[in-house]
Amino acid sequence: MGRKILFITTDQQRYDALGCNGGTVARTPVIDGLAASGINYHRAHNQNTVCMPARSTMLTGQYVGTHGVITNGIPLPLDGPDVAATLREDGGYRTALIGKAHFEPSSDPNASFFENWAATRDTTGPHRGFERMELAAHTGREGRSLYHYPKWLKENHPDAVDGFFEYVTADKQVSGRGGGDCGAPQVWFNPIPREQYHTDWVADRAIDWLDSLDTDDDWFLWLSFPDPHHPWDPPQSELSRVNWRDLKLPAGYPGSREKTAEILGQKPRHWLEWYEGRGQYNFEVPPSFKPCDLTEDQIREVNAIVHVENELIDEACGRVMASIERRGWHDDTDVVFTTDHGEMQGDFGMLFKGPYHVDALMRVPLIWRPAPSAGIAPAALQDPVGHVDLAPTFCDIAGVKTPAAMQGRTLPVEPDNSRERVITEWDSDFGGAGIYLRSMYRDGFVCTVYEASNFYDGTEGELYDLAEDPLQWRNLWDDPARQSLRDDLVADLRDNLPPRRSEALEQVAPV
């Protein structure tokens, strides 16, 4: 009997959402406990700031340009490295993914992919190295694809289905409409009982799968919560946990429309154009949404609901951890926790995410609580690491050889001077605007190169000194005093960019 692996992911959760990372609102004692007894990586970045590219990197151990899922709507090829398949085939692991997968497009009305048709055909796999997949996304409605959770809800609690926000719709006004107390976009009062909501459903299904295993089985469970991704419609009964009226505005909120425009005017032009509603550069944002119209109370209410969802996730994690303890597996179970990308939550006067390479979206919580039997000491590390390092880490835990095609390295357990940088990329032609970003964190600086396109001429960029400007309000790209530093960082970034596929993969759906 070897070490088991519980891999917990959330969706669109900020680094500072957790108490162990400075969060002061949501109570997250379970995850904070993992950080205290394990390794908390305080400078972890994703390799892309939207769902499918980030999740594909977690599964493959490859950079975005290499595996080819450079944006949402591109199905991950089946012929690349796959950590679940490696653990299953080379290590004899039992494998399951419960919750959100999103390696395949979710907006496929033709049901061309397993994730789209599995629930309809009453199957749970095997698929992509997972012997079992039970899928959920951000709603209890059937939506663009029928996942296992909305199918279960419809069959068992049909009255609860219509309580969810109807954001999966072609109606641009409906997708961006507001609710709650303040009319914030995609905020909604959901009357669903807590025990029927997808956060608890994911934990319930994970516990059931764990209970189906033999005591001596080695297992890899990807526990994938769809929250706190929008729409923000958790059980209304839980909203009293955080009163939005009591919240302070986030530190990254500039304070006025004029101050926001002044800050964004220092950045490449798509920042201000999106804020003012003159352009949209990402499908995942409601088309009718204009960030400049957000009120301070709307930002407070969104943040309050996100904190509620974070608390529900933490409690669900606690139930799964208790089931592991009950089975006698605690001492031999490694737990890894992260998210795919962050959320603006009022930073720069914005919500949602997109081609904006700042800490709000790139910096992610990443915690590894090694199995107590491994004898690895707790630590808090500042080394730059990324999602690309997860798959090799899982292979190392399982004692199997890391496939040569994986590009990451096992996460460090103590300071590692050989880790100098972490790279994040963005490639999108949404709305006909080509935005191609190459970003690197190194030595306390974030440097972003804008590649030449039909939208940018290739001379634009962003440079932030996080020690002096942690909110990333002051773009130093054109500062003459920083030109030598900028040139050095750009050269280092280009020297270390990962290889890209020779032929681009087809985007077959928007998301």
**Domain chopping of the chain, boundaries:** 4-420
Cα separation of 301 and 184, whole Å?
7
| Residue 441 · residue 42 · CB < 8 Å | no
E strand intervals along 112-244 = 132-135, 178-179, 184-185, 219-224
Query: Which positions ≥6 away from 408 have C-beta within 8 Å?
Result: 61, 386, 387, 388, 389, 390, 391, 392, 393
Q: Which two tokens stand for residue 51?
A: 């769902």
Among 11, 196, 197, which Cα is nearest to 106's? 11
Please tell me the pTM assigned to this model.
0.98
Contact by Cβ (8 Å): 496, 63: no
Say whether pLDDT at 176 is over 90: no
Q: What is the pLDDT of residue 134?
A: 98
Check residue 7 and give its pLDDT: 99
Question: Is 481 exposed, middle or buried (CB count within 10 Å of its CB: 0-12, 13-18, 19+)?
Answer: exposed
Pairing of the two strands 94-99 and 219-224? parallel
Q: How far is CA 433 from CA 297, 361, 438, 455, in A?
A: 32, 21, 16, 6
**H helices, E strands: number in the chain:** 14, 16
**Considering the domain 4-420 in this protein, what is its CATH number?**
3.40.720.10
Q: Per residue in 360-418, pLDDT tens? A: 999 999 999 999 999 999 999 999 999 999 999 999 999 999 999 999 999 999 999 99
What pLDDT, on a 0 to 100 scale, did the predictor assign at position 143?
Answer: 78
CA distances for 251 relative to 24, 46, 68, angstroms: 12, 22, 36
Question: Beta-carbon neighbour count of residue 466 at 10 Å?
Answer: 16
Query: What DSSP state is assigned to residue 330?
Result: G
For residue range 185-221, what is the model confidence (pLDDT) as tens digits?
999 999 999 999 999 999 999 999 999 999 999 999 9
What pLDDT shows up at residue 2? 78
Q: What is the mean pLDDT of residues 10-37?
A: 98
Q: Which two tokens stand for residue 46?
A: 């994703």
- What residues have CB less than 8 Å from 503, skipping those under 6 apart? none
CB 337 within 8 A of CB 6: no
Distance of CA 401 to the CA centre of its chain: 27
Q: Name the 3-class secondary structure at 84.
A: helix
Judged against a pLDDT cut of 70, whether residue 173 lies above it is answered with no
How high is the mean pLDDT of the chain?
96
Estimate to the nearest angstrom the gap between the alpha carbon of 496 and the chain centroid: 24
Residues facing residue 425 across a β-bridge? 438
In the predicted model, what is the mean pLDDT of residues 331-353?
A: 98
DSSP-derived secondary structure for 107-146: --TT--SHHHHTTTTT----BTTBSEEEE--S-SS-TTS-
In tens, the pLDDT along 442-455 reads: 999 999 999 999 99
Say yes or no to pLDDT of 128 above 70: yes
Burial 228-261 (b: 16+ CB within 10 A, else e): bbbbbbbbbebbebbebeebeebebbbeeeeebb
Cα Dmax for the chain: 64
pLDDT band at 166 (very low <50, low <70, confident <90, very high): confident
Q: What is the CA radius of gyration of the chain?
A: 21
